[in-house]
Amino acid sequence: MVLLVFAAQLGSLIAPAYACGCGAMVVDRTARVSVDRETSVVDWDGSTEQIVMRLTVRGNAPEAAWIMPVPHRATVGLGDASLFSELQTLTAPVSATRHYFWPRAKDWPFGGSGGRSGDGAAAPSAAAPVEVVGRERLGPFDVARLAATDPAALESWLKENGFELPDRLATALRPYVEQKWEYVAVRLAPEKSGSPLSGELDPLRLRFASDRLVYPMRLSRLAATPQSLGLYVLAAHRMEPRGAIGGGRPEVTYAGRVDAGQERGAYPALGALTGGRPVFVTAIDQSFPRPELIDGDHELRATGSDTAYRTTYYRDELLTVGGVPAWALSLLGGAAVVVTALLLALRARRHRPVTPPPPVTVPPPLA
């Protein structure tokens, strides 16, 4: 699948600072940049894959670059930033209230005075070692698409064009070169000259042929800080990663079917990406506390069933009736029933008819 990596044309030496799941981030030796969050939308219809990727970065680098391996020749364009807003709204957690009967530590009479407790509760041609297959300007991006079959040749081409490929990045790229993947090299400079790269970068959209759903993560092992990945997977069924690939357990935060064609007014960017076809949306979050443990790419597969799911945060409340705790009412009611029963029994006892004593028989006189 797709792997984006910013590769920067800086006239001086360039060294990698941090890497993200999309690939290797490269900046000048005197600068620094870190990727706080990587969020991607992956759309797959069984034969074609699209990745719309957005990074949130911070640092003081005036320029940066990416190098991203892709399994087949890709077309590159700018992504629609509103796509992320639509999916964030669609998959947002919901709140619900659930009641409990017996009082807890913070409830009266143990403490507090109310009835609430705040408990909180997804192959290119090998004709030449390096081949430039396309170059274009996309907004603030200078995009070069390369085909390379030799890591050393790729390194030479990058140096000739103002890039430096560190040894560890060349080693990390070797599996992709052996699989005859291509690369997307992207140079980014802020629109305001002299401003550092910071905040959410403009999203890029890549499209390529693929008979399997793969999200490249191998280059993330070069990251110097913990990584956070958010994936929105759009496919015919609910999807799941085959494994954790060295990170924390992938967490599904949303799963549900969406017909963007019928709901085009609500999700226009989603409908444009999918061509209006119905899709099953699976939102997955994963953390990588130790990126050096990442040992492969994410391969996603369909789950056994398309079970819908939505993250729900619960507020636990003490059950009340008219502002009075239900447990107190039940105790009072129980006591009232007992007292009433006793009174009725006593009353029944008082009004029970008295049986007269048997008649006294006088014996006959003695003769």
pLDDT in the model for residue 152: 67
Q: How confident is the model at residue 123 (pLDDT cuts 50, 70, 90)?
A: very low
- The three-state DSSP-derived secondary structure of 185-237 is EEEECCCCCCCCCCEECCCEEEEEECCCEEECCHHHHHCCCCEEEEEEEEECC
Q: Full-prediction pTM beyond 0.85? A: no
Least confident of 110-114, 149-153, 214-218, 264-268: 110-114
Is the pLDDT at 11 greater than 60, yes or no? no
Q: How confident is the model at residue 367 (pLDDT cuts 50, 70, 90)?
A: low
Q: How confident is the model at residue 8 (pLDDT cuts 50, 70, 90)?
A: very low
Nearest CA-CA partner of 144 in 260, 7, 281, 336: 7
For residues 270-278, give the mean pLDDT: 92
Query: The tokens of 202 are what?
Result: 């403009």
Q: What would the pLDDT profile of 344-365 be if each residue is shown by its tens digit?
A: 888 877 777 767 777 777 777 7
Is the pLDDT at 166 greater than 70, yes or no? no
Is the pLDDT at 253 greater than 90, yes or no? yes
Q: How confident is the model at residue 62 (pLDDT cuts 50, 70, 90)?
A: confident
Is the pLDDT at 190 greater than 70, yes or no? no
pLDDT in the model for residue 124: 39
pLDDT in the model for residue 7: 35
For residues 198-209, give the mean pLDDT: 86
Q: Round to whole Å and give the CA distance between 78 and 353.
A: 98
Q: What would the pLDDT profile of 88-99 be if each residue is shown by its tens digit?
A: 999 998 877 877
Query: The tokens of 79 are what?
Result: 């992504």
pLDDT in the model for residue 6: 33
